[in-house]
């Protein structure tokens, strides 16, 4: 009988996937990472490479034309892309975030209509939950959807939307019954080309500069009623179920950023000489590297354990949900905190060079910070964990 550990240890197939994604990332994505960051432009080269190798949305089930990858395989893809370019890792990560509500709660018609183009690489999918006055308190959103015959009319503003303007499809949460607070929120699929949809200017950010973050404006956006995801009033529940699964992808992103920083620092300290020998020979430096590697491995095990629980919820239903909620929050919180510490240490190990853009670790440090903030701040993750202690 398989042990608990065997449930989330990567299989031979998973490790083969890791090798192929790492080779692709180093050859086709890494060469553009610094330029993408410097110019704050979308990493089109990464999108092209990922689509060409069916790695842009591996989570889509085979029945809709996707690879049907499990949660751990998805984590590995994101981790390996983030190791060289965090901005590029948001392509597979946000495609899952945006489309998972459709997978979890959408009608068969919605799944066929929107998952097939996503799987083919013809479209990307974003997720619209946050608003100017509704961040951690997502239930306080003001975007409204009003029924008008066979249509819904949406009005409002969504903020901090990753890949906005590039994605063709958007999962939008909107209030359909103001008197019911979270139980009066419903989910919809909005298309980029729908009349009344527009976007704000790209945010000028500390990190992940290659992934556009913009406001999404909904001005009397009229969409067919069959674009509601699930039943009316179930949108907030779908949003929270989605985050249980996708916080693990942020843990994977943080893990990849941290691994990239450690890998670079390890190489540097073997070459940089001071006092007549490589700085890697000094015990103080060795202790720093040991702590970095230890935290990465702990984050990896927690992230993979969470991925196993994500997969189990898909297989067994909501019976394992509380377990997933805790582990998803724990993985995201721990991995992102570790990534911030590890990238900061990597900059320290490179000294003055680490503080310049001639070396990648300062970019990795800037990129790591957002993993402590989005898909729920780490303060919120600790609240979630406390409410779902195993």
Q: How far apart are CA 277 and CA 279, in angstroms?
A: 6
**Rounded to whole angstroms, how far apart are CA atoms 383 and 385?**
5
Q: Positive or negative CA dihedral for 97, 99, 103, 105?
A: positive
The whole-angstrom separation of Cα 30 and Cα 40 is: 15
Between CA 233 and CA 184 the distance in angstroms is 5
How many of the other CB atoms lie within 10 Å of CB of 174?
27
Measured between alpha carbons, how far is 238 from 229 in angstroms, rounded to an integer?
9
Q: Which residues are catalytic?
A: 375
Do 190 and 204 contact (CB within 8 A), yes or no? no
Instruction: Return the residue matching tokens 């083969």.
Output: 16
Number of C-beta neighbours around residue 225 at 10 A: 13
Residue that is written with structure tokens 């919809």 in the block: 188
Q: Which residues contact 306 (CB under 8 A, 6 or more apart)?
A: 247, 248, 251, 324, 327, 328, 330, 331
Pair of tokens at residue 10: 């990567």
Give the span between the Cα atoms of 249 and 376, in whole angstroms. 13
Q: Are the beta carbons of 59 and 66 closer than 8 angstroms? A: yes
Tokens of 136: 């951690």
Strand partners, 169: 125, 191
Block residue for tokens 């998973």: 14
């Amino acid at each position: 009988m398989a042990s608990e550990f065997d449930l989330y240890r990567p299989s031979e197939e998973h490790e083969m996937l890791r090798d192929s994604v790492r080779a692709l990332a180093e050859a086709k994505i890494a060469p553009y990472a610094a330029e993408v960051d410097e110019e704050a432009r979308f990493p089109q080269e990464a999108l092209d490479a990922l689509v060409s190798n069916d790695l842009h949305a591996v989570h889509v089930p085979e029945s809709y034309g996707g690879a049907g990858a499990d949660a751990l395989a998805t984590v590995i893809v994101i981790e390996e892309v983030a190791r060289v370019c965090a901005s590029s890792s948001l392509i597979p990560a946000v495609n899952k975030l945006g489309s998972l509500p459709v997978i979890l709660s959408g009608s068969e018609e919605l799944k066929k209509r929107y998952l097939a183009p996503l799987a083919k690489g013809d479209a990307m999918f974003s997720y619209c939950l946050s608003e100017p006055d509704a961040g951690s308190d997502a239930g306080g959103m003001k975007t409204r959807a009003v029924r008008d015959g066979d249509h819904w009319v949406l009005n409002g503003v969504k903020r901090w939307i990753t890949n906005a303007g590039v994605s063709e499809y958007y999962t939008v949460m909107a209030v359909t019954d103001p008197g019911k607070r979270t139980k009066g929120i419903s989910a919809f699929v909005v298309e980029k080309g729908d009349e009344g949809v527009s976007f704000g200017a790209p945010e000028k950010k500390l990190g992940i500069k290659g992934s556009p973050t913009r406001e999404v404006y909904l001005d009397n956006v009229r969409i067919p009623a069959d674009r509601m995801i699930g039943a009316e009033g179930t949108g907030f529940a779908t949003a929270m179920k989605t985050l249980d699964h996708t916080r693990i992808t942020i843990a994977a992103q943080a893990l990849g950023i941290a691994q990239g920083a450690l890998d670079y620092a390890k190489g540097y300290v073997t070459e940089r000489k001071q006092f007549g020998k490589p700085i890697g020979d000094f015990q103080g430096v060795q202790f720093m590297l040991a702590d970095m590697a230890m935290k990465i491995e702990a984050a990896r095990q927690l992230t993979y354990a969470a991925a196993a629980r994500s997969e189990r919820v898909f297989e067994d239903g909501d019976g394992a949900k509380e377990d997933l909620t805790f582990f998803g929050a724990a993985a995201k919180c721990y991995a992102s905190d570790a990534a911030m510490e590890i990238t900061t240490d990597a900059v320290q190990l490179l000294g003055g060079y680490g503080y310049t853009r001639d070396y990648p670790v300062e970019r990795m440090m800037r990129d790591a910070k957002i993993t402590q903030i989005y898909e729920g701040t780490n303060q919120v993750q600790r609240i979630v964990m406390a409410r779902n202690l195993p």
